[in-house]
Amino acid sequence: MRNISLVFERIAKPISVALVLLFSVSSLQAQDAKEGETIFKANCSSCHKVFGKFLGPELAGVNERRDEAWLLKWIHNAPSVIASGDPIALELDAQFPSAAMTAFPQLGEGQIKSILAYIKAEEEKKATADAAGGATGVGGGAAAASGDASGFMIVGLVAVIILAFVVILVLNKVIRTLERVIASNKNLIPEPVLVEGPKKDYIGKLKKLAKNKKLVFFTVLMLAIFLGSAGWKTLWNVGVHEGYQPVQPIKFSHQLHAGVNQIECQYCHGGAFKSKNASIPSANVCMNCHKAITASDKYDGELSPEIAKIYRALDYNPETMEYGPNQRPIEWVRIHNLPDFAYFNHSQHVVVAGVECQTCHGPIETMEEIYQYSPLTMKWCINCHQETEVNHEGNAYYDQLIAAHEKLKKGEKVTAAMLGGLECGKCHY
Q: Restricting to residues 218-277, name those near ligand HEC by CB under 6 A.
A: 248, 250-252, 254, 256-258, 261, 263, 265, 267-269, 272, 277
Shorter beta-carbon distance to ligand HEC: residue 212 or 304:
304
Residues 6+ apart with CB under 8 A from 149: 30, 33, 34, 121
CB of 28 to ligand HEC, least distance (A): 21
From candidates 49, 66, 73, 312, binder to ligand HEC by CB under 6 A: 66
- Overall size of the chain counted in residues: 429
CA 203 to CA 149: how far, in whole Å? 39
Region from 126-134, 146-154, 341-349, 407-415 binding ligand HEC, contact rule CB under 6 A? 341-349
Tell whether residue 24 is a contact of ligand HEC (CB under 6 A): no
310 touches ligand HEC (CB under 6 A): yes
CB contact at 8 A, 59 and 119:
yes
User: Which one, 378 or 408, has the nearer CB to ligand HEC?
Assistant: 378
Among 202, 409, 428, 429, binds ligand HEC (CB under 6 A): 428
| Nearest CB to ligand HEC, comparing residues 46 and 316 | 46
Q: How far is the CB of 290 from ligand HEC (least distance, A)?
A: 6
Amino acid at residue number 108 = G
336 touching ligand HEC, by CB under 6 A = yes
- Subset of residues 345 to 404 that bind ligand HEC, contact rule: CB under 6 A: 346, 348-350, 352-353, 355, 357, 359-361, 364-365, 370, 376, 380-381, 384-385, 388, 390
CB of 129 to ligand HEC, least distance (A): 23
Stretch that binds ligand HEC, among 48-56, 142-150, 194-202, 215-223 (CB under 6 A): 48-56
Q: How far apart are alpha carbons 29 and 117 in whole angstroms?
A: 8
Question: Of the candidates 33, 50, 62, 81, which one interacts with ligand HEC according to CB under 6 A?
Answer: 62
Rounded Cα distance between 147 and 128, Å, is: 11
228 burial (CB, 10 Å; 0-12 / 13-18 / 19+) is exposed
Rounded-to-10 torsion of CA 397, 400, 401, 405: 170
Measured CA to CA, the distance from residue 71 to residue 63 in angstroms comes to 8
Nearest approach, Cβ of residue 340 and ligand HEC (Å): 9
Among 16, 337, 400, 415, binds ligand HEC (CB under 6 A): 337
Taking CB under 6 A as the binding criterion, the range among 162-170, 204-212, 304-312, 317-325 that sits at the site for ligand HEC is 304-312
Q: Which of 37, 38, 44, 215 binds ligand HEC (CB under 6 A)?
A: 44
Least Cα distance to 9 among 178, 188, 171 occurs for 171
Interacting residue with ligand HEC among 298, 409, 410, 413 (CB under 6 A):
298
The footprint of ligand HEC on residues 158-187 (CB under 6 A) is none
Site for ligand HEC in 108-127 (CB under 6 A): 115
> How far apart are alpha carbons 347 and 276 in whole angstroms?
6
CB of 323 to ligand HEC, least distance (A): 16
CB of 270 to ligand HEC, least distance (A): 9
Please select the residue that binds ligand HEC; options are 33, 38, 57, 311, rule is CB under 6 A. Answer: 57
Alpha-carbon distances of 54 from 48, 60, 98, 308, 362, rounded to whole Å: 6, 12, 11, 33, 16
Closest CB to ligand HEC among residues 33, 359: 359
With a CB cutoff of 8 Å and minimum separation 6, the contacts of 153 are 229
Using CA atoms, how far apart are residues 67 and 78, in angstroms rounded to an integer?
15
Q: Dihedral of CA 388/391/392/397: which sign? A: negative
With the C-alpha atoms ordered 135, 139, 140, 141, is the resulting torsion angle positive or negative? positive
Between 164 and 373, CB nearer to ligand HEC: 373
**Residue 83 interacts with ligand HEC (CB under 6 A): yes or no:** no
> What is the Cα–Cα distance from 154 to 231, expressed in whole angstroms?
12
For position 33 contacting ligand HEC by CB under 6 A, the verdict is: no
The closest alpha carbon to 83, from 55, 109, 59, 103, belongs to 103
